[in-house]
Homo-oligomer: A and B are copies of this chain.
Amino acid sequence: MRMPPSDAPPTPGQGFRPKARRPRGLEDRRGPALARERAAIEAISKVYEKWGFEALETPALEYADALGKFLPDQDRPNEGVFAFADDDEQWLSLRYDLTAPLARFVAENYDALPKPYRRWAAGPVWRNEKPGPGRYRQFWQCDADTVGSASPAADAEMIAMACEALEAAGVAPGRYRMRFSHRKLLDGLLAAVEIEPGREAEIRMRVLRAIDKYDRLGIDGVGALLRQGRRDESGDFTAGAGLTEVSAKLVEKFVTGVSGEPTEVLRTLTNLVGGTQQGDAALNDIENIFEVLGSRVLIPHSCHIETSVVRGLEYYTGAVFEAELIAKGSDGKHVSFGSIGGGGRYDDLVARFRGERVPATGFSIGVSRLVAALEAAEGVEAANGPVVILSLEADRMADYFAMAAELRNAGVRAEVYLGAGKFGPQLKYADKRNAPLAIIQGSNEREKSPPVVMIKDLKLGAEMSKSIADNEEWRKGRPAQIEAPRSDLVATVKRMLAGKTK
């Protein structure tokens, strides 16, 4: 099972000694922080299951050509993914998301799958990127996708389910915004904008990039990028799209003005992009999405259309979604804690393999980021460790283990101290474990008739030692320590854990 290194274990002090170091950009996660992430994944996946999505686990490794050789906005192959040659000379890559492996899986098993195929998946993904604060090279995603349905109802389902999943993971209604838009609205807008003939592709890309920077630069920055260009703080100049004033104003209106009540949004959008082929297609989809979302049970509180949402331009083909965490800042205003999930319709991904288009839509929750953002926004309470049973007499380990087993059978996390330390170090260990209680039975307690245990409330003890100046007095009173008959161990521990001292 455990496959060990086979070079003989080094005698201490001899031979090569590697430095123990975690590779850069990768995290060790432990204890309560890890438990919170696992709980979020479980809560999210339970929602996905309830909505009829089926679990899928593909391997971490895929053939590089199946993942796609190129990464967004980069011309170099294999940048951004960890890749290496297998011993049969084929290139393997660590997956960088859960969608590319899904496309491979669907294409490989197309005939056997129910269609549409709804699946969810949770697992780590890897990015071979420069690490930075809060940017890791391995993190968890928890995705749901519907492959094989072109219906806007499938997009609506994604939005509603993602809202329910975020709320199940602990994001209260009103603490997040689910924004959505439609890729073809932009196409309609671009069709409505006057563009210098011969430079259509280049100018359109500049317009899209300008729109995508609205969150960061505000409308002035976007306005500059739509017209003559913009110089940033560092002095770098970004060339503008060179739009006419009328066209630039149209785009600005699109970016800033279109949000609010469904009917109002649809009216405004019709004025802006209606009549263009792509615009009308988008409006029709959005109307359908609203209809399904608007049914009395489904409408998520926090769901808004916002035309400034622009995601993966080369990738998404229809509706696009983005969820961000918000919190009230000290000034009472809402502060964004950043994106915690997103997705959209991508009808072309499976076509890479099959030649024919397979409509698909999905949503991905960045669980690691979600949990970190929730912690930053709300803080966390330290979770209790296990009850620690001190081992004071070396020949009585069996008795201590019996105590632990009784407590565990009653549903209480419990462990026996296993080190070589004396009383003081054992209590220090219990503190380091964040133990709520320590169980003490030395010869004094054991020899009483009937035998007793001392149960030390470590939290209460710490609290009281803060407030009581006279240490001597506190020790005498021993208010945070209770003597109980050995036979009452479990009942007394449960009472103390419930916060009752008597």
Whether A194 sits at the interface, judged by CB under 8 Å, is no
Are A418's CB and B149's CB within 8 A?
yes
Chain B minimum-CB-distance residue to A123: B124
A315 lies within 8 A of B4 (CB):
yes
User: Which B residue sits closest to A30, measured CB to CB?
Assistant: B56
Judge whether B4 and A28 touch: CB under 8 Å.
no
Bound CA span A298–B31, Å: 26
Q: Is A1 an interface residue, CB under 8 A from the partner?
A: yes
Q: How far is the CB of A317 from chain B (nearest CB, A)?
A: 8
B-contacting 9-mer, from A100-108, A185-193, A263-271, A471-479 = A100-108
Give the Cβ gap from A269 to chain B, nearest Cβ, in Å. 21
Residues on the B chain within 8 Å of A341, using CB: 1
Tell me the chain A residues, 289-304 only, with Cβ under 8 Å from chain B: 291-292, 294-298
> Are the C-beta atoms of A67 and B5 separated by less than 8 Å?
yes
Question: CA A61 – CA B21 in complex, angstroms?
Answer: 12
Asked if B419 contacts A115 (CB within 8 A), the reply is yes
Q: Does A443 contact B (CB under 8 A)?
A: no
Q: Quick check: B108 and A401 within 8 Å, CB to CB?
A: no
Q: Which of A84-118 contact B (CB under 8 A)?
A: 84, 86-88, 90, 92, 94, 96-100, 103-105, 107-109, 114-116, 118
Q: Please tell me if the beta carbons of B295 and A6 are within 8 angstroms of each other in the complex.
A: no
A252 within 8 A of B: no
Residue of B nearest to A61 (CB): B23
Q: CB-nearest residue of chain B relative to A90?
A: B23
Assembled-state Cα–Cα distance A295/B292 (Å): 62
For A19, give the chain B residue with the smallest CB separation: B353
Q: How large is the interface on A (under 10, 10 to 19, 20 to 34, 35 or more residues)?
A: 35 or more
**Do the beta carbons of B4 and A312 come within 8 Å of each other?**
yes
A61/B138 contact (C-beta < 8 A), A3-B71, A52-B388 known: yes
Cβ of A180 under 8 Å from chain B: no
Say how far A425's CB is from chain B's closest CB, in angstroms: 9
Alpha-carbon gap, A82 to B88, bound state (A): 13
Chain A 25-67, CB within 8 Å of chain B: the 1/0 string? 0111111001100100010000001111111111111110111
Contact partner, A413, options B50, B295, B346, Cβ 8 Å = B50
Stoichiometry, as copies per complex, reads 2
Whole-angstrom distance from the CB of A230 to the nearest CB of chain B?
Answer: 24
A352 proximity list for chain B (CB < 8 A): 5, 9-10, 17-18
Chain B residues lying within 8 Å of A9, measured Cβ to Cβ, are 314-315, 317, 348-349, 351-352
B419 contacts A17, CB within 8 Å?
A: no
- Pick from B6, B74, B157: contact of A416, CB below 8 A: B157
A31–B416 alpha-carbon span in the complex (Å): 39
Whether a CB of chain B sits under 8 angstroms from the CB of A385 is yes
State in angstroms the CA–CA spacing of A68 and B5 once bound together. 6
Q: At the interface, yes or no: A376 with Cβ under 8 Å from chain B?
A: no
User: B4 and A72: CB pair below 8 A?
Assistant: yes
Complex CA gap A472/B231 in Å reads 79
Q: Is the CB of A151 within 8 A of B418?
A: yes
Nearest CB of chain B from residue A173's CB, rounded to whole Å: 15
Q: How far is the CA of A80 from the CA of B6 in the complex (A)?
A: 12
- In the assembled complex, which residues on chain B have CB atoms less than 8 Å from the CB atom of A278? none
**Least CB distance, A54 to chain B, in whole angstroms:** 5
Instruction: Write out the residue numbers on chain B whose beta carbons fall within 8 Å of the beta carbon of A53.
Output: 415
Residues of B within 8 A of A10 (CB): 348, 351-352
A343 at the interface (CB under 8 A from B): yes
In the complex, what distance in Å separates the CA atom of A29 from the CA atom of B13? 46
Any B CB within 8 A of the CB of A406: yes
CB pair A353–B5 under 8 Å, yes or no, is no
A-B contacts, 7 listed (Cβ < 8 Å):
A6-B74, A12-B351, A34-B56, A54-B385, A118-B415, A151-B419, A292-B398
Known: A4-B312, A28-B59. 20 other contacts (CB 8 A): A3-B72, A4-B99, A4-B314, A5-B68, A5-B100, A6-B70, A7-B69, A7-B70, A7-B314, A22-B108, A23-B59, A42-B42, A51-B413, A61-B82, A82-B92, A153-B391, A156-B401, A288-B397, A291-B398, A295-B399
